[in-house]
């Protein structure tokens, strides 16, 4: 696949210098004051702002602030997101299980000693009851030596079913593959969510600034209509209509600020940051991100996704794991469980018949090999195990097919979304240019008493809507690129960092 990454810096068409105004957290109100109208926080929604009472739309200032861009956000999530860490710990667990499976044919080492003392009656092999006073002591590799029997706990002891010894490492390897691919898929999904959350935050910030710009332009209309009404050149209803438009626009600005706070909280959650600190972005408008070669067709993208998507690879590894487990259960009745033990140490003892009571210590070695073939429940138990694993294999195959169908759907939807958003973005930009020209022309005509104020209000409304649309189109286009990249099985962080 030929992919390239580039971030296109774009800006919403706003007046030069207005980006600095938002730093004050205040805006010229409908009656000329330097603050947002306090009716938003007043019990009386019709209350007007005055120079003596001001209310800002911004949230209370946080204790700390963090400045982020898209690449920094992805790096922070890559290092600190707990969901990614959880997936990585699952890989470590599967590696530990693999090590344990590979060690099935390695023996245990046991060292110890045992003391045996008997006082009282025993029965001989001939059935004669005798009273004996015996004692013995053993020390070395192993423990549990009494009389002429073998060591109960061998010093070097290997015990395993050969079916497990052969197939358990293969099963464990497939589990390592599955958990590793799942960790990659989890990382890619989280990074995609981080990218989308960052774009949502930037979009809310840009929408808020665009509303402020529209409010500034609408304030000129409010001032104009108020002056016309005072001099008798215009109607008071036009002034009231302009004032109402400003109030509605301030409500939209308040909603945009709320959206910005919500997006910041979601991004903080994904980055595992304190949500009480404000997240600031370097971008004033959603950056346009190009991660997928636009020359690739949908058929080519589907082929790429099916070849390299980590989640599909993880499900294939699970299928291979269940196949290995099924082969193990099929050969289990034909392979034995083996036990090999070796012990070496010093052994001695005595009784009332021989002096000393505890002596005659000499080296002793024991070597035992056992092999046992088992048919569980007259082979019914073996068949039950095989049927159970066979059913689990069928489930794994079905899950892989579900993932396959989902990946195809995600690639198709993301590809269609990228194409659609690209067209919508072009149309939105043209609409902004057209709406700006219309607003300037209608405002000039109204100032020269050649046009109606309602036409200017319509132009302001259209320009405001166009600005919001172009911001949404920019964010949605980049988000669609992130979704398509993830659906193809690529890491957005790797491509953006290039």
Model confidence pLDDT, tens digit, residues 368-380: 999 999 999 999 9
Q: Which helix (H) or strand (E) holds 158?
A: strand 156-161
Among residues 286, 111, 287, 305, the alpha carbon closest in space to that of 202 is found at: 286
| Per-residue pLDDT tens digits for 4-49 | 444 444 433 333 333 333 322 322 333 333 332 332 233 333 333 3
CB-neighbour burial class of residue 458 (10 A; exposed 0-12, middle 13-18, buried 19+):
middle
pLDDT band at 420 (very low <50, low <70, confident <90, very high): very high
Stretch 310-334: mean pLDDT: 97
How far apart are the C-alpha atoms of 402 and 410, rounded to whole Å?
A: 12
Stretch 373-397: mean pLDDT: 95
How far apart are the C-alpha atoms of 308 and 411, rounded to whole Å?
A: 13
Report the chain's C-alpha Rg in angstroms: 39
Q: In three state form, how does the secondary structure of 87-114 look?
A: HHHHHHHHHHHHHHHHCCCCCEECEEEE
Cβ(220)–Cβ(30) below 8 Å:
no
The angle subtended at Cα 155 by Cα 150 and Cα 158, nearest 5°, is 95
Stretch 354-370: mean pLDDT: 85
| Per-residue pLDDT tens digits for 129-168 | 888 888 889 999 999 988 778 899 999 999 999 999 999 9
Does a cis peptide bond (omega within 30 degrees of 0) precede residue 356? yes
Among residues 368, 403, 11, the alpha carbon closest in space to that of 206 is found at: 11
Under the phi-then-psi rule, with left for phi > 0, alpha for psi from -120 to 50, and beta for the rest, what region is 370?
A: beta
Q: What share of the chain is helix, strand, coil (3-state, %, to 5)?
A: 60, 20, 25
Residues near 185 by Cβ (< 8 Å), separated by ≥ 6? 309, 310, 311, 314
Q: How many CA atoms lie within 13 A of 28 on its CB side?
A: 15
pLDDT score recorded for residue 450? 67
Supply the mean pLDDT for the chain.
Answer: 84
How far apart are the C-alpha atoms of 360 and 348, rounded to whole Å?
A: 5
Model confidence at 173: pLDDT above 60: yes
Range of weakest confidence among 235-239, 333-337, 411-415, 481-485: 235-239
| Per-residue pLDDT tens digits for 455-472 | 778 888 899 999 999 999
Q: Which helix (H) or strand (E) holds 207?
A: helix 162-231
Range of weakest confidence among 114-128, 335-349, 482-496: 114-128
| Per-residue pLDDT tens digits for 69-92 | 999 999 999 998 999 999 999 999
Stretch 96-100: mean pLDDT: 96
Range of weakest confidence among 197-211, 279-293, 341-355, 392-406: 341-355
How far apart are the C-alpha atoms of 22 and 146, rounded to whole Å?
A: 90
Percent of residues, the chain, with pLDDT higher than 90 = 60
DSSP 39: G
Among residues 415, 193, 189, the alpha carbon closest in space to that of 299 is found at: 415
Looking up tokens 């599955």, which residue turns up? 178
User: What sign has the CA pseudo-torsion 392, 398, 401, 407?
Assistant: negative
How far apart are the C-alpha atoms of 388 and 328, rounded to whole Å?
A: 13
Instruction: List beta partners, residue 111.
Output: 141, 142
Under the phi-then-psi rule, with left for phi > 0, alpha for psi from -120 to 50, and beta for the rest, what region is 449?
A: left
pLDDT band at 64 (very low <50, low <70, confident <90, very high): low
107 or 16, which is more confident: 107
12 or 492, which is more confident: 492
Domains, the chain, ordered by start: 6-104+165-328+380-497 (1.20.1600.10), 111-122+129-154+337-372 (no CATH)
Instruction: List beta partners, residue 122.
Output: 130
Cβ(88)–Cβ(305) below 8 Å:
no
| Per-residue pLDDT tens digits for 197-247 | 999 999 999 999 999 998 888 888 778 777 777 777 667 777 788 788 888
pTM over 0.85: no
């Amino acid at each position: 696949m030929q992919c390239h990454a580039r971030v296109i810096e774009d800006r919403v068409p706003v007046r030069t210098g207005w980006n600095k105004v938002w730093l004050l957290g205040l805006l010229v109100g409908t009656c000329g004051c330097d603050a947002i109208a306090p009716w938003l926080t007043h019990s009386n929604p019709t209350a007007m702002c005055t120079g003596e009472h001001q209310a800002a739309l911004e949230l209370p200032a946080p204790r700390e602030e963090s400045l982020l861009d898209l690449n920094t956000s992805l790096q922070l999530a890559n290092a600190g997101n707990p969901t990614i860490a959880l997936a990585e710990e699952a890989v470590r667990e599967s590696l530990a299980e693999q090590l344990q499976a590979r060690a099935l044919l390695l023996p245990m080492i046991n060292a110890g000693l045992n003391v045996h003392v008997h006082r009282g009656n025993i029965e001989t092999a001939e059935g004669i009851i005798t009273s004996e006073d015996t004692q013995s002591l053993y020390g070395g590799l192993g423990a549990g030596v009494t009389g002429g029997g073998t060591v109960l706990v061998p010093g070097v002891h290997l015990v395993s079913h050969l079916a497990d010894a052969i197939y358990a490492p293969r099963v464990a390897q497939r589990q390592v593959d599955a958990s590793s691919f799942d960790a990659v898929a989890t990382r890619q999904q989280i990074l995609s969510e981080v990218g989308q959350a960052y774009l949502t935050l930037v979009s809310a910030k840009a929408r808020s600034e665009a509303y402020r710009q529209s409010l500034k332009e609408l304030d000129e209309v409010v001032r104009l209509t108020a002056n016309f009404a005072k001099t008798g050149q215009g109607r008071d209803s036009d002034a009231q209509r302009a004032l109402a438009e400003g109030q509605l626009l301030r409500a939209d600005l308040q909603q945009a600020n709320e959206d910005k706070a919500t997006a910041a909280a979601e991004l903080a959650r994904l980055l595992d940051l304190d949500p009480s600190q404000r997240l600031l972005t370097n971008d004033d408008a959603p950056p346009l991100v190009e991660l997928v070669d636009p020359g690739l067709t949908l058929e080519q993208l589907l082929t790429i996704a099916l070849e390299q998507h980590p989640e599909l690879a993880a499900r294939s590894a699970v299928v291979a794991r269940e196949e290995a487990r099924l082969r193990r259960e099929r050969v289990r009745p034909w392979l034995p469980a083996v036990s090999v033990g070796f012990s070496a140490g010093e052994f001695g003892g005595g009784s009332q018949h021989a002096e000393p009571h505890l002596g005659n210590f000499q080296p002793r070695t024991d070597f035992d090999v056992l092999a046992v073939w088992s048919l569980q429940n007259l082979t019914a138990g073996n068949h039950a195990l095989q049927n159970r694993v066979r059913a689990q294999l069928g489930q794994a195959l079905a899950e892989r097919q579900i993932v396959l169908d989902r990946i195809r759907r995600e690639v198709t939807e993301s590809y269609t979304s990228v194409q659609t958003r690209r067209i919508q973005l072009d149309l939105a930009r043209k609409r902004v240019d057209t709406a700006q020209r219309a607003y300037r022309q209608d405002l000039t005509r109204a100032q020269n008493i050649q046009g109606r104020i309602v036409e200017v209000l319509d132009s302001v409304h259209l320009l405001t809507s166009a600005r919001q649309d172009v911001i949404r189109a920019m964010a949605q286009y980049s988000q669609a690129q992130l979704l398509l990249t993830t659906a193809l099985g690529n890491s957005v962080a790797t491509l953006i960092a290039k």
